[in-house]
Amino acid sequence: MIDLHSHILPELDDGARSLGESLAMARMAVDSGIRVMVATPHCAEDRTREVYLAWKYLRRALQENEIPLRLFLGMEILGQPDTAKLLQERKLFTINGSRYPLIEFPFQGDGKEETWILYSICKAGYRPVVAHPERYVFVQRNPELMNLWHRMGCLLQINRGSLLGRFGGQIRELSWELVDRGFASAIASDSHSARMRTPRLDDVWRQASRDISTLCTRKLMVENPGKIIKNEDIPPVTPEWF
């Protein structure tokens, strides 16, 4: 499996607090069947040097400790009015240098500014991968907004924890609805540590295989994430509109 969203880099954000914790997370990911992971620390402005150095440091430590996890570089970018400009100036990292940036928003918003920000990113030639849309209050209140985001060319990444009910029943239902209707392009761990919000995907793989078919699960946890990392096109889908 390929995990597009993780806070595995040490001492950069609210994720891994030490190199030891990063390595424990990496071992857990491999144990759960993840072979490729994208490191996506929270970023709102230029932190490229700091993030790049942390990524290189952890990659070397993975080799030295013989942990078979391929780690790619990325960021979880807080969407702001100047995000498109910062992307064009290469002051923010997309997922492995592709045209796919991982974008998050504050949980409380009204959806309007978020839509404009995503529109500006699309217009600049990128395809935003929106992190955990099911966790935003404005999406819970108005899932019809996903019709517009889909038409704009956005991709949606759903969290493993949402699907497993870790953020409550309402978020669990919405996340499965986004998957069932065909709006979801990827499922990722959004892992923060080796104890809570862990980098496992085997449990959600099993549940999704049972509930939506192994073929669709493969698409969300292997094929689409692989295409995103390689900067390839994601085959177009027509969802069941809200």
Q: Which residues bind Fe ion (CB under 5 A)?
A: 76, 190
Least Cα distance to 26 among 62, 64, 63 occurs for 62
Query: At closest approach, how far in Å is the CB of 12 from Fe ion?
Result: 12
Please check whether residue 29 is in contact with residue 23, taking contact to mean a CB–CB distance below 8 angstroms: no
Of 42 and 181, CB closest to Fe ion: 42
Query: At closest approach, how far in Å is the CB of 46 from Fe ion?
Result: 19
Query: At closest approach, how far in Å is the CB of 193 from Fe ion?
Result: 12
Of 96 and 209, CB closest to Fe ion: 96
Query: At closest approach, how far in Å is the CB of 32 from Fe ion?
Result: 18
Please check whether residue 80 is in contact with residue 36, taking contact to mean a CB–CB distance below 8 angstroms: no
How far apart, in whole angstroms, are the C-alpha atoms of residue 31 and residue 116?
40
Of 114 and 190, CB closest to Fe ion: 190
User: Which 3 state secondary structure label does DSSP give 166?
Assistant: coil
Query: What is the per-residue DSSP string for 181-242?
Result: TT-EEEEE--B--SSSS-S--HHHHHHHHHHH-HHHHHIIIIIHHHHHHTTPPPPP------
Query: At closest approach, how far in Å is the CB of 238 from Fe ion?
Result: 28
Of 25 and 64, CB closest to Fe ion: 25
Of 21 and 76, CB closest to Fe ion: 76
User: Beta-carbon neighbour count of residue 208 at 10 Å?
Assistant: 24
